[in-house]
């Protein structure tokens, strides 16, 4: 169920999509550069790889910080999902409110 770095193997499609978007943002549009150069057109493979690795590492670290910050809520919601199998957006927000209220009461 878990692959490298403890990431679920079910998230591989999301990772592929994120990689594609990041690659497009850097190689085609150079969203993160001041010069707005098209590194792909320049054939600057090393620069593209360096930028991709730098940004993907930053996004990974930020994602892990968010997961750690909301670990209790995520654990609670995963328990609800195991029981319910699926939730609508409204149901998710209802459960978030329940979790927040329980946390406030336990303080």
Q: Cα separation of 83 and 53, whole Å? A: 38
Within 10 angstroms of residue 95's Cβ, the number of other Cβ atoms is: 18
- In the three-class reduction of DSSP (H, G, I as helix; E, B as strand; rest coil), residue 32 is classed as coil
Share of the chain above pLDDT 90, in %: 10
**Which pLDDT does position 87 carry in this prediction?**
84
| Cβ partners under 8 Å of residue 84, min gap 6 | 91
> Shortest CA distance to 60 belongs to which of 11, 97, 25?
11
> DSSP label at 2?
B
Task: Answer whether residue 1 shows pLDDT above 50.
Answer: no
Tell me the sheet residues that pair with 8.
2
pTM above 0.95, yes or no: no
**pLDDT (tens digit, 9 = 90+) per residue, 4-35?**
555 555 566 777 777 777 777 766 666 566 55
Q: Which residue has the tokens 């990974």?
A: 60
Task: Answer whether residue 101 shows pLDDT above 80.
Answer: yes
Q: Cα separation of 6 and 62, whole Å? A: 16
**Which pLDDT does position 23 carry in this prediction?**
75
Q: Bigger pLDDT: 1 or 107?
A: 107
Do residues 8 and 2 lie in contact, with contact meaning Cβ atoms separated by under 8 Å?
A: yes
């Amino acid at each position: 169920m878990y692959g490298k770095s403890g990431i679920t193997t079910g998230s591989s499609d999301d990772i592929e999509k994120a990689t594609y978007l990041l690659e497009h943002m850097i190689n085609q549009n150079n969203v993160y550069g001041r010069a707005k150069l098209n590194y792909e057109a320049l054939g600057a493979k090393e620069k593209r790889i360096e930028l991709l690795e730098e940004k993907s590492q930053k996004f990974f670290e930020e994602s892990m910080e968010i997961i750690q910050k909301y670990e209790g809520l995520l654990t609670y919601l995963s328990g609800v999902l195991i029981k319910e199998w699926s939730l609508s957006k409204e149901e998710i927000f209802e459960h978030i409110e329940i979790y927040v209220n329980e946390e406030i009461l336990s303080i």
